[in-house]
Structure 1
Amino acid sequence: MVEQKAALHTPCWAELSVPDPAAAQRFYGDVFGWRGETDPRPEAGGYTTFKLGQSAVAAVMPLVDETQPVSWSICLAVADAEATTSETVAHGGKVLMPPTEVFDLGSYGILADPGGAAFAIWQAKAFSGAEILGDPNSLGWIELSTRDVPQALEFYPSVFGWATHLSDFYTEWSLDGTHFGGLVDLNTLPGPAADAAPHWKPYFNVADVDEAASKAAAAAGGVLMPPENVPGDELRISVLRDPQGAVFGVFGPVKESVDVAGGGGRLKLSSPAP
């Protein structure tokens, strides 16, 4: 595993909010081999970093109150949290939590795009975010589900400088040639998936997608989309749900293929809409 930090305006961290963080540590330990390391400071509110070996890969925290949804959230690295917040508002987004200093670690804010999908921003100081990206059992992709695709395609390039790669099959996001995310139109999805609120979902790279899905099911999680190969690519994906209801994706190489990871652990994923 190669330790690294995310480039500015790309995903740097993923956080899980659940009623029972201890149960989440057991589940994700079973699925990804993570272990939890809880900040002992009372003012940290039980914030727990997931570690893979000695490297930080994600985090879990208790719900603030009963109105907060159980969910995974994604965080984007920024150089200036206040300036990014202003740009978000100028392009039709909303401020859910203004940038706030977190000890000596950095500045954290929660914003929403014009379609209502929330995301966090992180201006790093002592802590840069995930220390492993794109390697097995770490964050490797983010995906936006929205009902207003044209609005999303205007907002994110304007605020973060992302390039878009459009096709009839799937839309991808990139920055400086690195592909790191995608977009799904909720209006095109069948059944209950179409009723979901706009959101961002993390995908974690794994060595074996089928094994990860089996581990999730054995640990009382759910398999929302069974493992399947991505047409025209060397990848296999699945969408899972933990026992407390948080949804996340996994992806990895098809079993017959060689490892397709590259570029220092970052992965170009051309995935279909789950």
Structure 2
Amino acid sequence: MSVPVFNTIAWFEVAGDDPDGLQRFYGDLFGWRFAVDQESAESGMDYRLISYAEEERPRGGVLGAGGSSNHAVFTVAVKDVEATCTMIEGLGGKVESKQVGDTAGPDHAYVRDTAGNLFGLFTPKAG
């Protein structure tokens, strides 16, 4: 898989109480294709990878909300999650959650802009 261009939206998620309905809606509307994410399914999560009609590589996911609020969120690829979180706070935003230095996955965070909108950050693992 190629590394996404930094400071661009690299992933998105749509969560809802009816993931089957969301899959039908976005599939019919945009021709998106869906595949069960096996790793998530093994842990009991309903997560479906989204690929655009003309591409093989997944670009996002649909998540069964499981009682949490329905939402859509975009994720931006950044060179350094920690430094970007510091910058966000300096600009008046807020860091909701952050995980850095975990060898199991990429550094990532969920943050809010100055209007309170939630979005994600991640730094792809090398290699």
The TM-score normalised by the length of structure 2 is 0.78
Equivalence for 1:43: 43
- 8 Å Cα contact 2:112/2:119 also seen in 1: yes
Structure 1 residues 17-65: Cα deviation after superposition (integer angstroms, max 9, x where no partner):
1112122112211112222112223337222211234221221112153
SS at structure 2 position matched to 1:55: coil
The CA distance in 2 between the partners of 1:58 and 1:120, in whole Å, is 12
1:102 positional shift: 8.8
Per chain length, whose mean CA-contact separation is higher, i.e. which structure has more relative contact order (CA < 8 Å, sep 6+)? 2
Residue 122 (str. 1) matches residue 115 (str. 2): no
Greater Rg, structure 1 or structure 2?
1
Q: Which runs of 5+ in 1 are unaligned?
A: 128-274
- % identical equivalent positions: 27
Residue of 61, 64, 67 corresponding to 1:65? 67
The CA distance in 2 between the partners of 1:123 and 1:27, in whole Å, is 30
Equivalence for 1:111: 111
Residue of 55, 58, 70 corresponding to 1:56? 58
Q: CA RMSD in A?
A: 2.6
SS at structure 2 position matched to 1:76: strand
How many residues of Structure 1 are paired with residues of Structure 2 in the alignment?
122
The CA distance in 2 between the partners of 1:71 and 1:32, in whole Å, is 19
Equivalence for 1:31: 29
Equivalence for 2:5: 7
Specify whether residues 51 and 76 from structure 1 end up closer, same or farther in structure 2 by C-alpha distance, changes over 3 A only: same
| Paired amino acid for 1:88 | I
